[in-house]
Amino acid sequence: MVDQYALGLILASVLGFVVLYNLMAKKNRIRVSSEARTEGVQTVITTTNGECRSIEGDVDVIIVGAGVAGSALAHTLGKDGRKVHVIERDLSEPDRIVGELLQPGGYLKLVELGLQDSVEDIDAQRVFGYALFKDGKNTRLSYPLEKFHSDVSGRSFHNGRFIQRMREKAASLPNIRLEQGTVTSLLEENGTIKGVQYKTKDGKELAAHAPLTIVCDGCFSNLRRSLCNPQVDVPSSFVGLVLENCELPYANHGHVVLADPSPILFYPISSTEVRCLVDVPGQKVPSISNGEMAKYLKTMVAPQVPPEIYDSFVAAVDRGNIRTMPNRSMPAAPQPTPGALLMGDAFNMRHPLTGGGMTVALSDIVVLRDLLRPLRDLNDAPTLCKYLESFYTLRKPVASTINTLAGALYKVFCASPDRARNEMRQACFDYLSLGGVFSTGPVSLLSGLNPRPLSLVLHFFAVAVYGVGRLLVPFPSPSRMWIGARLISGASAIIFPIIKAEGVRQMFFPATVPAYYRAPPVNCQARSLKPDALKGL
């Protein structure tokens, strides 16, 4: 009897505890709901053991910058149930002359992130490949899109319209707060980043805290030095013009003119506008204010553009509104820091000749999303930092292929007084003009559809060997043999330093890097990440 009485007492106690716990939980949910901020972008929604919890001021991730990388990352993490605070210096529509061409590989990443409608309703133009011009000859290089859905292609557009669309998508999620402010510094405590210090639009100095701070403040980042040792190179500048009502020789194609001293680009950015980017080597460009730039464009550049574009180009120069932008190159030099991560142009840049920057950024976001998705708790900064070291290896196939190609192609496409370099330039044009695998191979690399660094190296040296073969046929004279040897040597001098900067082991043998196999920390995992409140967003 005593045992039965004791058992009954225990069962009654357990039942009472369960009922009391449910009542308290319900009361707590009602209290938190009533205290939650009414602004949609400020609602706090996170997850614990598969359940929603709403706590005032509890932020999972701070994102510095709401450009392409920052906006896309905020929307991606927000869809996964994270509470995200985005701080952007200027929320008005950006007006830039770069970041206007999204390669097909980047569009596929946009689809994977659920952001493909960001290129809709902004008069974006579909791009199906490139046209290459040199010395009065031209060749068309089409993207190898046969295996993909008909919607897959490149997209070109006004950069600002694209960014505003992504900001709208991010701000539409209830657990994302998008705020205009200038981040002045990172908050550090015992070697761990705890958040940021920032100045609001109205001048107030505030601090924001989160377990993870992701810096995406672009190519002019003032925070990257706290998180890496940047080696920024400025090989040239772009001079930007907009040609109106101009019909390009090949519709829906980017146009690359192998001019002297360096390439000229044309591509549509709306149904009535064509962007022209004139590359000017070095860090100094002719002055716009005193008319030197207009004179340079008319006398040096205009005679080299295709005849179909000449009149529109001169008219654009006469209208003025000439703008310049330094072209920056910076290999990724990660310096893992607990509580913080660099992304986008703040972390890694390449020459914009190939238009690969947005593709790399969106690919990086997919990698980071997949790494963070199994995690519930981001508060163990050292453990999280160790786990996220795999990010730097997993991103390499796409990033290193596009980075290496951009740097190598720019150097090959520039004119040079060195005959060996000019032979390499001509060999590249002729190799691409062969068609078949000789054009689709390099174009698939450029477009982000084939992220294989080894394939890039093979095609690059195939161009060099092709150039040597042209020199030795029909008669391999000693002078031609010498030029051929210098051509191979010059090709090696172009590509090997870029590969070294990217990291030979991570680029070609990522499976040998221990971080490649790093599993999510057990104490940070959750049974379910997405709360019911965010399903279907």
Peptide bond into 497 cis (omega under 30): no
Angle at 36 between CA 88 and CA 85, to 5 degrees: 20
Q: What is the percent of the chain with per-residue pLDDT over 90, rounded to a whole number?
A: 83
Q: How confident is the prediction for the chain on average, in pLDDT?
A: 88
CATH topology of domain 61-122+157-232+331-395: FAD/NAD(P)-binding domain (3.50.50)
Q: Check if CATH label 3.40.50 holds for domain 233-328.
A: no
In this model, does residue 126 exceed pLDDT 80?
yes
Q: Residues with Cβ < 8 Å from 78, sequence gap 6 or more?
A: 84, 170, 173, 175, 176, 534, 537
Domain spans, the chain? 61-122+157-232+331-395, 233-328, 416-508
Q: What is the pLDDT of residue 57?
A: 53
One fold for 61-122+157-232+331-395 and 233-328 = no
3-state secondary structure of 434: coil
- Alpha-carbon distances of 515 from 55, 365, 388, 497, rounded to whole Å: 34, 18, 8, 24
Q: What is the pLDDT of residue 25?
A: 38
In this model, does residue 124 exceed pLDDT 80?
yes
In this model, does residue 507 exceed pLDDT 50?
yes
| Integer Cα distance of 329 and 294 in angstroms | 27
Amino acid at 460: F
Provide mean pLDDT across the span 160-171: 98
